[in-house]
Amino acid sequence: MSEVITRVRIELAETTPLVWRELDLPLSTTLASLHDIIQVVMRWQDYHLHEFLIGDKVYGVPDRGDVVDERKVYKEQGLRLGALIERGVREFLYVYDFGDNWRHRITMDEPRPGDPGLEYPRFVVGARRAPPEDVGGITGFEEFLEAMAGTEHEQFQRMLSWYGEVFDPEDIEEHWIRMIIEDNFAARRRGPLKSHRTGKRPWNS
């Protein structure tokens, strides 16, 4: 029996050319898991705070139920993509690093049966490498790209020393992304899924 999945597109707002990724995710994926997945496919390091903006609500990791900036933060752990789709939500925002303010537009396609022979989540396709951590937002990223575009740029050596290696804006490290998403994330779900589909606990099967 196949899982029901949705094609999820992640676009990093204001990047030109656009930085984007697409994945096939189970409807059972929580916002907390989506946060982890975005961190992987964008090569972020999870150094900073994040939140999801869905309608007039904010989802994230509440600090003992506190209200932040007069906004209540709801738990991201308990909300699944399938529940959002049932509510008619197909688009929302994910914000990472409130200083650099990386705003990701998330869109979800019509749900469909997944391939019974495949495990999910699965990375599909993407383009352009995401900005380094703490580069200084969109403006800082543009300046970084300009400096790293050629060794003759006056800021090349400084940026190279700061970043630690040459930055290839076309290389999204697809092999590494697939390995983490399809091996680690899919493997993490394998036991619970087997239990659900067979009615047996993994340790009794």
Site of tokens 């979800």: 108
What is the structure's pLDDT at 36? 96
Task: Report which of residues 48 and 62 the model is more confident about.
Answer: 48
Residue 21 has pLDDT above 90, yes or no: yes
How much is the average pLDDT of 33-51? 96
Across the range 146-169, mean pLDDT stands at 92
* Kind plus residue range of the DSSP H or E element containing 54: strand 50-54
Cα gap 51→103, rounded to integer Å: 10
Is a pLDDT exceeding 50 seen at residue 202?
no
Contacts of 99 (CB under 8 A, 6+ apart): 48, 134, 137
Rounded to whole angstroms, the Cα distance separating 192 from 202 reads 7
pLDDT at 203: 24
Mean pLDDT for the stretch of residues 10-18: 97
Q: So what's the pLDDT on residue 40? A: 96
What residue spans define the domains of the chain?
4-129+172-204, 131-169
**Nearby residues of 78 by Cβ (< 8 Å), 6 or more positions away:** 30
Superfamily (CATH) of domain 4-129+172-204: MM3350-like (3.10.290.30)
Instruction: With beta carbons less than 8 A apart as the criterion, state whether 35 and 44 touch.
Output: no
Task: Specify the pLDDT at position 196.
Answer: 36
Instruction: Report pLDDT digits (tens) over 77-105.
Output: 989 999 999 999 999 999 999 999 999 99
Q: Say how far apart CA 88 and CA 170 lie, in whole Å.
A: 35
pTM of the predicted model, to two decimals? 0.88
pLDDT band of residue 69 (cuts 50, 70, 90) is: low
Q: How many other C-beta atoms lie within 10 A of the C-beta of residue 138? A: 18
Mean pLDDT of the chain: 89
CB neighbourhood size of 111 (10 A): 16
Residue 41 · residue 21 · CB < 8 Å: yes
Q: What is the pLDDT of residue 64?
A: 55
